[in-house]
Structure 1
Amino acid sequence: MRLIKNAIKTFIAYALHYSGLLSLIKNNRLRDRVCVLAYHRILPDAQAAKTNSADAIITESALFRKHLRWLKDEFHIIDMEELQAILLDNQPMAGNSLLVTFDDGWRDNFEHARSALTAEGVPATIFLPYNYIGSGEVFWQEEMLARLTQLNESEAEADQSLLMELAAIEAGAGKELLRRAVTQLKTKPYAEIYQTLERLRAHQPQSAIDMKLDAYMDWQQVNQLGKERISFGSHALSHRILTQIELDEARHEIVESRSLIKEKTGKKIDTIAYPNGNCNPAIEKIVDESGFRLGFTISRGYVAKDSNPMALPRFNIHTNNSSSKPLFLCTVLNIF
């Protein structure tokens, strides 16, 4: 069924592209609105096959370079300062305007995205989760999947029993089932998530997993990017979903991340991307009162002059929704 659905999407995308209808749709939808793209990880195919990250946040590196060329051909690319001027200072908006952003500050942004952005002359903003930059720590999702995979591949009865208990999956299950089990935990209280992770850590030696591929930049790399056409925003401190923690904790995450990232980079930090894209009026109020000028979700849609500056939409981009120019444009133009 998925193959049939993808084939139909591909047919429609190519038909719209080669008929010229995509250009008409683009010019109509972006006549007085800005499109903001949200990337996460940029990896070569060989590394993408080994990472513990979900497919929905991975863009293959050669494809990413093509994206930038397509964007330059089809859109008026702006940077974050220009977007702020449009929304907050009533500056004019050029048609077909588009902004590129990245969430999380993965090391591959430095190793793979940087060269493509530089070569194509495309500016970008990277939203940084302060606690992970230069710390050697990784997000709980990637670590948990790596550890569950180790249990899954083990023949030890104790390992198989723990896998069944924690993930309700029998040994030998595919990695996709393990990934779904980890994703389902995102709705659980953080105390429960971390308790599960601690049980895995106690059961396995640290040497059992290799997380180098899923690492984040250090501050030296961040500051090197800051010398180029890359700006930074906050992605909070711990990357916890702000609507799932106490309001005082959320306030601490928001206020401190702005101050600490500014201290580390020497640059003003006046934009934030909410972890997992989740916000609500109470969180938006704290963000506004904390001095941020813009806040970003991952809800699909375009930015208009009358958009709520504390809850701006973005389109999440990854290999599976952008593998050809027609599919990429259909995603960016909110057709699929």
Structure 2
Amino acid sequence: MFVVPMNRTIAGFGHSVLSGFSRSLAGSCSVLLYHRVCRLDNDYLLLSVTPDNFYEQINFLKRNCRILTAEEFREIIIKRKRFLPRSVLLTFDDGYADNYYNAMPVLETLGVQAIFFISTGFVDKQVEFWWDKLENIIIQNGQKIKEINFNGFYVKMGSVKDGIDAFNKIFPVLRNLNVADRDNLINEWAAKANINYERDAYRPMTWEELKRFKDSSAVVIGGHTVNHPSLGTLSIPEQRFEIESSKKELERHLNNRIYYFSYPFGQAYDYTKNSKEICKDAGYEIAFANYPDRVTIISNRYSLPRFVIRDWNLSEFEKQSAFFCK
């Protein structure tokens, strides 16, 4: 999951430019980050791409870029080979059920592959991810709570705009709380808003769905912690639990070796040097972060950059591709 940006463009993230020397020596690869493929009535968090737009985006990439498989990408990174021009890798974070029902069929139809990073603590729970639940409470039902006095700020909520403002203040605090405190607060606010349901459109996959999902040639599974915390806020033992346990659980349920990991949120303060060392010790061979840049031979393979993709139509996607389809 990614923090809500101020705008929808890749350029708005402050795209950094790699040296021409690095690119000419070993080429580069753009790793693209998706979260959801579905049509929502309201997508305040900008996490979803509609199925039609997703098909157009991937079809454009297939026609204009070289979409690597996970194994092709891994071999280039591990053996420090040269990326061919216009190389791209597709990734998804979190493990929403719509990845199985909407994203996978498109990837299969077009004959391409993506890595899907799964937060195991949400699998089979039939509950929404905590940020979605927070969005439902604060943005869509904030008028029922009316006000929140939390962490030194006071917010009155009577409109969607009030809710968005409150969400943007509350979210950074909750991402840094321990899991129990975070969930207790969200449940308390849900009770005040009289929200005693889980929205099916927001649920994660079940283990049965994941087992069928991983059998597709379009799918490779990766780890994404257990509880989706900001690892940079955790102690070393807590980080080790989140990183190692998710890998072991995925391997036990799916009977597949897990090579890939992505850091929840993925900003520079969401993981540490210790996080990278724990990933390496756990047996992950590659770990992905969340900042816009292209992967080259000089990239640290335990904090590789990715470009976040939004719900752009084909025309807008073509414009945005100027930043990553090179």
SS at match of 2:221: strand
Distance 1:149 1:210, change over 3 A: farther
Q: Which has the larger radius of gyration?
A: 1
- Superposed displacement of residue 37, structure 1: 0.6
* Correspondence for 1:231 among 199, 220, 223: 220
- 1:279 and 2:271 matched: yes
Distance 1:149 1:239, change over 3 A: same
Distance 1:173 1:50, change over 3 A: closer
Instruction: Confirm or deny: 8 A CA contact 2:86 2:325 kept in the other structure.
Output: no
Matched with 1:165 is 149
Give the Cα–Cα distance (whole angstroms) in 2 for the partners of residues 92 and 164 of structure 1. 53
Distance 1:262 1:322, change over 3 A: farther
Instruction: Confirm or deny: 8 A CA contact 1:41 1:108 kept in the other structure.
Output: yes
* CA shift digits 1:281-330 (9 cap, x unpaired): 11101111111100000111111123211111111111259762432313
* Correspondence for 2:35 among 28, 34, 40: 40
Percent identity, aligned pairs only, is: 20
* CA shift digits 1:71-94 (9 cap, x unpaired): 011111111111111111344532
Q: Which moved more, 1:190-199 or 1:258-267?
A: 190-199
Consecutive unaligned residues in structure 1, runs of 5 or more: 10-24
Q: Please, what TM-score do these two structures have when normalized by structure 1?
A: 0.80
Distance 1:61 1:30, change over 3 A: farther
- Superposed displacement of residue 151, structure 1: 4.6
- 1:312 and 2:312 matched: no
Aligned CA-pair RMSD: 2.8
* Correspondence for 2:287 among 282, 285, 295: 295
Q: Please, what TM-score do these two structures have when normalized by structure 2?
A: 0.83
* CA shift digits 1:17-63 (9 cap, x unpaired): xxxxxxxx9xx78971111111001112xx2x245x601x2222211
Give the Cα–Cα distance (whole angstroms) in 1 for the partners of residues 306 and 29 of structure 2. 10
Q: Which moved more, 1:172-181 or 1:255-264?
A: 172-181
Instruction: Confirm or deny: 8 A CA contact 1:102 1:127 kept in the other structure.
Output: yes
- Superposed displacement of residue 266, structure 1: 1.0
Give the Cα–Cα distance (whole angstroms) in 1 for the partners of residues 310 and 212 of structure 2. 25
Give the Cα–Cα distance (whole angstroms) in 2 for the partners of residues 304 and 321 of structure 1. 29
- Superposed displacement of residue 136, structure 1: 1.4
Consecutive unaligned residues in structure 2, runs of 5 or more: 1-6, 12-19
Q: Which moved more, 1:321-330 or 1:228-237?
A: 321-330
Distance 1:75 1:153, change over 3 A: same
Instruction: Confirm or deny: 8 A CA contact 1:30 1:95 kept in the other structure.
Output: no
Distance 1:151 1:72, change over 3 A: closer
- Superposed displacement of residue 171, structure 1: 2.1
